[in-house]
Chain A
Amino acid sequence: EPEVTQTPSHQVTQMGQEVILRCVPISNHLYFYWYRQILGQKVEFLVSFYNNEISEKSEIFDDQFSVERPDGSNFTLKIRSTKLEDSAMYFCASSEVFRLGPNTGELFFGEGSRLTVL
């Protein structure tokens, strides 16, 4: 069964460093997402991406964050200057279709990348 893969599984970084989290969505999917989950808290939406541009983003997704699809397979989340509060599990997701309709865009999530900022 096709799946979303994420690397690295765990990254430890120093505060102020740049971090890039990578995701390979399912190959025929067109819509990509990043969510995060701080330990013990809810899963939170960060950003959605379609046709090489951001389609929606949350208040969390400030100027420190950026997303990119550098080639036909990868989808990346960059955090420019990490803060302690960026420590979380980051989940990438993808979907074949979009928004509402008969095929209502089931999201497939990866296993996550755990980011620890020291």
Chain B
Amino acid sequence: DAKTTQPPSMDCAEGRAANLPCNHSTISGNEYVYWYRQIHSQGPQYIIHGLKNNETNEMASLIITEDRKSSTLILPHATLRDTAVYYCIVRLGGTDKLIFGTGTRLQVFP
């Protein structure tokens, strides 16, 4: 089972920041938090990952709380093309697999 909890859906106005929360209260010290998204039925797309420090790349920012029990993915200026299902994944230590949950369906509206 997925080790994360996410709200099933969120809305965001185009041009505004989208803040997607994730709870991972049972995360272990060597487990990374990954974010992927899936647009329609396309293959999942990597967004960002982190261990304990906040991370930023060209797509998004990842804010991880100090106790590592939760994190927030921030899309700074959401566009209509960011409408997708966003998955927060804790990658199990020493294993290959990503365990996808049900994710958050983000709807960006004009």
The residues of A with any CB-CB pair to B shorter than 8 Å are 4, 31, 33, 35, 37, 42-45, 48, 55-56, 58, 89, 91, 93, 98-100, 104, 106-112
Contact = CB atoms under 8 A, between A and B. Distances in A.
Interface residues of B, number: 23
Contacts of B99: 45
Given A99-B94, A99-B95, A107 B100 contact: no
Interface of B: 2, 30, 32, 38, 41-46, 49, 87, 91, 93-102
Contact of B97 (A4, A37, A56, A108): A56
A71 B46 CA distance: 27
A100 B94 contact: yes
B96 A56 contact: yes
A109 B102 CA distance: 18
* B contact patch SS: loop
Contact of B42 (A31, A56, A98, A112): A112
Contact of A31 (B32, B41, B96): B96
B95 A56 contact: yes
A42 B1 CA distance: 11
Interface-centre pick from B41, B43, B98 (highest chain A CB count, 10 A): B43
22 contacts: A4-B43, A33-B96, A33-B97, A35-B98, A43-B38, A43-B44, A43-B98, A45-B96, A45-B99, A48-B96, A55-B96, A56-B97, A89-B41, A100-B91, A100-B93, A100-B94, A107-B44, A107-B46, A107-B98, A108-B46, A109-B43, A111-B42
B99 to A, nearest CB: 7
* Across the A-B interface, the 6 shortest Cβ-Cβ residue pairs: A109-B43, A48-B96, A45-B97, A43-B100, A56-B96, A106-B46
A112 B24 CA distance: 29
A107 B32 CA distance: 14
A108 B45 CA distance: 7
Given A91-B44, A111-B43, A112-B43, A48 B32 contact: no
